[in-house]
Chains A and B, each alone.
Chain A
């Protein structure tokens, strides 16, 4: 597991039914591209997050495939429709097999 990986997600606490909300996500990760070399000229092995998925109550919102060209601390902003109260699940998949997950609930009135 890469060190110091911390997901941060911004979701409004409440919304009206069917409203379109904006979600911002950021996860601290060095996203080593596999292109860089260390001081001795040896290539540094690739270590990135290769997939990010956001779901709401089991329904998919966005599913992103990441390549090494995504910057350090991958950031995503996107929109979602919220038909009812429920929970957003955000999942990041690391090259090394680790899975980072965080959830946010939203109140729909």
Chain B
């Protein structure tokens, strides 16, 4: 069989699509692994955790986010499309009444921001927010 230019092109793009697809779940599982590490493998339900993030962020370098988790001991934030998915972990002390905090984060591209809260009774609560990013924040 002789390879024409067209065949080579088709083969090449198929191979590219294959690697791209193989790459995507790896990213997602890195985030899932981190979440599992934080929860100790426990299933995170939904509940009294509010993650506030903008729907559209023009500048991925400073995306304001806020977590509000009454009754939480700690809240971990993850961004599943960043090269390093972990963003921050807030540990709340006894003098923190509302268990809420806000900060500014970097997002490399449009992706989901995930907050997982560890509650006082040892259960875990999860909240997701999809953020569209116009200009990525990783200097690439």
- Asked if A74 CB lies within 8 Å of chain B CBs, one says yes
Main SS of the interface on chain A?
strand
Say whether, besides A71-B104, A71-B106, A62 and B61 are in contact (CB < 8 Å): no
Contact of A78 among B61, B79, B87, B101 (CB under 8 A): B101
* A80 near B95: Cβ-Cβ < 8 Å: yes
Q: A101 at interface (Cβ–Cβ under 8 A)?
A: no
Q: Is the CB of A70 within 8 A of B83?
A: no
List the count of A-B residue pairs having beta carbons below 8 Å apart.
106
Q: Does A42 belong to the interface (CB within 8 Å)?
A: no
Per the 8 Å Cβ criterion, residues 64-109 of A in contact with B are: 64-72, 74-83
B91 near A62 with CB under 8 A, answer: yes
Residues of A in contact with B, size category: 20 to 34
Nearest CB of A to B34, in Å: 10
A84 to chain B, nearest CB (A): 11
Interface residues of A in 31-66 (CB under 8 A from B): 33, 35-37, 54-56, 59-66
- Is A20 part of the contact surface with B, judged by Cβ < 8 Å? yes
| CB pair B138 A36 closer than 8 Å | yes
User: What are some 16 contacts across the A-B interface (CB < 8 A)?
Assistant: A35-B83, A37-B139, A59-B93, A59-B95, A63-B90, A64-B88, A64-B103, A67-B87, A69-B105, A69-B106, A70-B105, A77-B102, A78-B96, A78-B101, A82-B95, A83-B95
Q: CB within 8 Å of B: which residues of A?
A: 20, 33, 35-37, 54-56, 59-72, 74-83
